[in-house]
């Protein structure tokens, strides 16, 4: 029964990847890497919310050494399969002034972009956007939810490859 489930999962992944290839312009190897790295399909784009790997402290835009190491590894992995351009979106929780949160989220996106550039991604192939607190992935009513919302998302899509 376990083998049957593994085979079904393999074929489901293969179907997903083959269907996505036509709509995104990404090849099977690129799609496999995106899935392995935790990217999820959203329309024609693939999004990695780094809320698990990369969270920022309250009112902070600095990265830990571990986060920098993980971003460099991700940059190397994406470039190894020909994914060279991407969009980085910074996010903030809903605490404080909206315009300040927008600026803070922009600084977070730019900080992650700096690490991608340091790791070898060409600066002209990265776009950054601050999203402020407009797109929470968790409730801003709890400390845990606010922490999850202080994140960066990395987006790969047909116009980015």
pLDDT tens-place string over residues 134-158: 999 999 999 999 999 999 999 998 6
Instruction: Count Cα neighbours of 117 within 13 Å in the Cβ-side half-sphere.
Output: 15
In whole angstroms, give the CA distance from residue 70 to residue 73. Answer: 5
pLDDT tens for 71-108 read 999 999 999 999 989 999 999 999 999 999 999 999 99
Kindly report whether the global pTM for this prediction surpasses the value 0.75.
yes
- Please, what is the average pLDDT of the chain? 84
pLDDT of 54: 63
What percent of the chain is modeled with pLDDT above 90?
Answer: 65
Residue 151: helix, strand or coil by DSSP? strand
Q: Can you give 93-125 as a three-state secondary structure string?
A: CCCCCHHHHHHHHHHHHHHHHHHHHHCCCCHHH
> Per-domain residue ranges for the chain?
2-160
Provide the edge-to-edge strand list for the sheet that holds 152-156.
Answer: 40-42, 45-49, 152-156, 86-90, 126-130
pLDDT tens for 56-66 read 888 899 998 88
What is residue 153's DSSP assignment?
Answer: E
In whole angstroms, give the CA distance from residue 118 to residue 5. Answer: 42
Q: What is the CATH number of domain 2-160?
A: 3.30.1330.60
Q: Which residues pair with 41 in a beta bridge?
A: 46
């Amino acid at each position: 029964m376990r083998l049957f489930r593994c085979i079904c999962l393999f074929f489901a992944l293969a179907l997903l990847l083959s269907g996505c290839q036509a709509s995104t312009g990404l090849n099977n190897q690129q799609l496999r890497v995106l899935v392995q790295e935790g990217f999820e399909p959203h329309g024609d784009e693939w999004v990695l919310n780094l809320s698990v790997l990369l969270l920022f402290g309250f009112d902070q835009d600095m990265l830990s050494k571990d986060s920098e190491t993980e971003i460099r590894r991700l940059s190397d992995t994406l470039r190894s399969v020909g994914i060279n351009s991407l969009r980085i979106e910074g996010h903030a929780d809903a605490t404080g002034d909206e315009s300040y949160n927008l600026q803070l989220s922009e600084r977070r996106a730019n900080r992650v972009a700096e690490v991608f550039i340091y790791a070898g991604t060409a600066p002209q192939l990265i776009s950054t956007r601050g999203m402020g607190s407009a797109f929470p992935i968790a409730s801003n009513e709890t400390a845990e939810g606010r922490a999850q919302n202080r994140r960066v998302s990395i987006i790969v899509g047909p116009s980015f490859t």
